[in-house]
Amino acid sequence: MRQKKNQKAIYVISFLLLLVGVGYLVVSGINKNSVYFLNVSEALAKDAESIKNAKVFGKVLAQDLEEKEDSLGVKFWLADKENQAQAIRIDYAGAVPDTFKPGIEVIVQGSMRETGSVFEAQSLMTKCPSKYKKQ
């Protein structure tokens, strides 16, 4: 009988240990890897200092869209989905996805340049192209 009780205690203790371990992983993981997830208006409302690492989503505008020649990247205006007057200049370095074009929704990740006028993006994701719905 005593042994049975011991076994139960072992189960409980190992469960708690595992729980604490996972809890630690989650908390440290979130602290290290969380980024602001903002729309363009929210990003503009924040000061450049606080946008060190953020994801910004919005709609790609057609005007002043520059594909960088011979190198990887693109510069464009990203507008707020609801309020197109609010726009932010994005400078993206890296491979441009096939589905990138004016009018689509994208999520960029990166940081605001010190001057606060240009958002430097390291990653650019387009919303999955009409996997379920046409644009």
Partner 1 sequence: MYLVAYYCLLLAFLLSLVLAGWILSSLSSYLDKKLCSFKWIERFQLINLFLLVLASFVLLWALYVRDFSFAYVVDYTDKTLPWFYALTAFWAGQEGSFLFWALFLSLFGSLFVFMSSYKSLSDLSKKYFWIFFFIIQACFLLVLTGPSNPFQQLSPPPIKGNGLNPLLQHPGMIFHPPLLFIGYAGFSIPACIGLSVSLGREDKSWLRISRNWVLFSWILLTAGIVLGAWWSYMELGWGGYWAWDPVENASLIPWLCATAFIHTSIIGRQRKSLGRTNIFLIGMTLLSCFLGTFLTRSGVLESLHAFSGQKVGGFLLVFMLFLLALILLVTFKGQAREKNQLSDFITTPGAMLVLAWLLLFTGIVVVLGTMWPVISKLWSENSIDVNADFYNQVCLPLFTISIFLLVFCPWLGKRSHSSSLVQITLVAFFFILAAVLWTQGMTKFLPLLAATSSITACFSIIILFFAEKGVRKVRTRWGAYGVHFGVALIALGVAFSGPYKQEREVVLHKGQSFSINDYTFTYKDFSKYTFPGMAAYQAKIEVSNADKIIGKLTPERRIYQNFKQPFAEVSVLPSLGNEIYATLLGFSRDQAVRLKVSVNPLVNWIWIGGTLMCLMGFVALKKKITYFDGQVDEVAG
Binding site for partner 1 (CB under 8 A): 4, 7-8, 10-11, 14-15, 18-19, 22, 25-26, 28-30, 32-38, 42, 46, 55, 57, 69-72, 94-96, 98-101, 107, 125-134
Residues 6+ apart with CB under 8 A from 63: 77
Q: Two tokens at 134?
A: 């046409």
Closest to partner 1 by CB, 64 vs 95, is 95
With a CB cutoff of 8 Å and minimum separation 6, the contacts of 88 are 40, 43, 44, 56, 58, 77, 78, 119
Per the structure block, which two tokens stand in for 85?
Answer: 């007057």
Nearest distance in Å: CB 26, partner 1 = 6
Our CB check for partner 1 shows the closer of 55 and 89 to be 55
- Minimum CB separation from partner 1 for residue 46, in Å? 8
The nearest distance, CB 100 to partner 1, in angstroms, is 7
Residue 9 identity (one-letter amino acid): A
Indicate the helix (H) or strand (E) that contains 31: helix 2-33
Q: Which is nearer to partner 1, 1 or 85 (CB)?
A: 1
Query: Quick check: 82 and 111 in contact, CB under 8 A?
Result: no
What is the nearest approach in angstroms of partner 1 to the Cβ of residue 61?
17
Identify which of residues 7 and 84 has a Cβ nearer to partner 1 in the complex.
7
